[in-house]
Structure 1
Amino acid sequence: MAHIKKLYIILLTFSTQGASTMANKGPSYGMSRQVQDKIEQKYDPELEVRLVEWIGTQCGSGVGKPEAGKLGFQAWLKDGCVLCELINSLCKDKPVKKIQSSSMAFKQMEQISQFLNAAERYGVVKTDMFQTVDLWEGKDLAAVQRTLMALGSIAVTKDEGSFRGDPSWFFKKAQENRRDFSDDQLKEGKNVIGLQMGSNKGASQSGMTGYGRPRQIMNP
């Protein structure tokens, strides 16, 4: 009898947790619905067409094409395979070594994470990165678009020969104009600054008027 009671408690616990999980994944109400509506309004259908065309050109026909619309776009990218093919096509070292289609949730999310890590190493800044749940759960597909646009912009800016497509689809990011000076050049620069400062050594405050004090005019 004790064993049956214990089993009942375990089943009841699982049942409660399952109901709670389903409630969390249910429709959004009130403020959360308003927030979700605003996020969805940021999704750009025209940008979707451009990104699909670029990814197809960049990766080849093997990645296929999604059904038009936000849900089709999400389903196309959700398992991470297309994203991993994309980053591999841009990087010479092919950062994602094994790309495998899978229906298992953890495997799909793992591949999305591999793409995100590789994209960050490629140069996409954290503020332009989507989160795994943004794509996998469809929470913010506009953020996914933003990441892909940033990735394309970096590829165009790098101009390493791996980009395929129309460069005008993306804007070039500003690059750091770094200049390296030799030790002799740095020493010469210090000498110039020293001479400029030395030319003022004879200066004094005798001809200067203090702030707020009237200037005295001497009549001849």
Structure 2
Amino acid sequence: MTDAAHTAEPRLIDHLIELRVRLLRAVAGLFVALLALLPFANKLYAFFAAPLLAKLPAGGQLIAVEVASPFFAPLKLAFFVALMATMPWLLYQTWAFVAPGLYQREKRLAAPLLVSAVALFYAGCAFAFFLVLPTVFGFLAKVTPDGVAMMTDINAYLDFVLVIFVAFGLSFELPVAMVIAAALGWVTPAQLREARGYAIVGVFIIAAVITPPDVVSQLMLAIPMCLLYEVGIIAAGWVQRDRTPGAAAD
């Protein structure tokens, strides 16, 4: 074997050991958070059910169709909350593993992007929970036909809310995606400004697909995304100004 092969083999083993350590730490953090939340799983579910329960007409309630739903629905919610709570820790472990292989300029760009991505995802989830869901459930309660009791299964409700959370959280990542595209040289701020009209149409199409079939909730997603698109253009301009011919050599 050549000297290069002898050198590469220990490096690969070191990387695998480092990956294993980071994965174990990430899973351990998630497990600890889940254990801490399990005693409060039922209270968590009651909190998450509040937007629907507040809009239900008299006699409306959540029901458990399946025998094990009262156990598994709060457990699923506790896991989701633990995952959201430990997201900074999980991303830190990922960052600690990949950071040594990045250039200095890439590190300067990646760290703010990670922080912004987490903050925007949290903001999207909070926006959905405190503003969108009450509006959606108010609309659904009003359009329920007379003589129909609105009684939603606890699993179906939880799945619906989690899908909305993920959809709004990912939608709020639009500026981060634009900055990454600009940093990779795929687009320029000028191109993003020129495509503004197409982007607005695309945003409204996405909002129509993601949200329930009422105009208010569609606007509540489309308008913030349009504003975030403008923020993305500004942030992409900062990234472009930061790019210099000698940056790759840092």
What's the TM-score, normalizing by structure 1?
0.27
- Computing the radius of gyration from Cα coordinates, the structure with the larger value is 1
Q: Which has the higher helix share?
A: 2
Structure with bigger RCO (C-alpha 8 Å, 6+ apart):
2
